[in-house]
Amino acid sequence: MTQTSESVTWLTQEAYDQLKAELEYLSGPARTEIAGKIAAAREEGDLRENGGYHAAKEEQGKQELRVRQLTQLLENAKVGEAPTTSGVVAPGTVVKIAFDGDEDDTMTFLLASREYASSEIETYSPQSPLGTGVMGKKVGEEAQYELPNGKKASVTILEATPYRA
């Protein structure tokens, strides 16, 4: 099977190991726990009016969705080193851009998999329109990307530094 760049998720070894550990937990011990909750709720009687049963089934559905998401993500993951040098936009870099060359209209974000989005800094996927536009650009270079309305937007790369958690 040929992979397109849109289906590849770049992860550091540490990120890959964390996601793999989560998948192993959800596929093993967590499945056993939810099965136990469902069995206990089933023993309480009429399933039509059993809130505990329905809550456990809903939790099971969410858990299985996460298992499928993680499985697909890890199958398509490419493990690499986090960037160590500044100046070039790559996955794992914190990027500061200026919109239309306006030094007063700036935004700073982490270019990384959405799996590692945090509340500390806004995260954009390398596959997003903005991520695709800035990927590989050097500080000082201009990048273009497509807006949802089909128009093009221009940004200037002001900074590109390795992310430090």
pLDDT band at 116 (very low <50, low <70, confident <90, very high): low
26 neighbors 96 (Cβ within 8 angstroms): no
What's the pLDDT score for residue 36? 92
Mean pLDDT rounded to a whole number for the chain: 83
Q: What is the CA radius of gyration of the chain?
A: 21
Select from 1.10.287.180, 1.10.10.10, 3.90.550.10, 3.40.50.20 the CATH code of 9-80. Answer: 1.10.287.180
pTM over 0.75: no
Q: Which CATH architecture has domain 93-162?
A: Roll (3.10)
Q: For the chain, which residues make up each domain, given as ranges? A: 9-80, 93-162
pLDDT band at 81 (very low <50, low <70, confident <90, very high): low
Both structure tokens of 71: 């499985």
pLDDT band at 41 (very low <50, low <70, confident <90, very high): confident
What's the pLDDT score for residue 4? 41
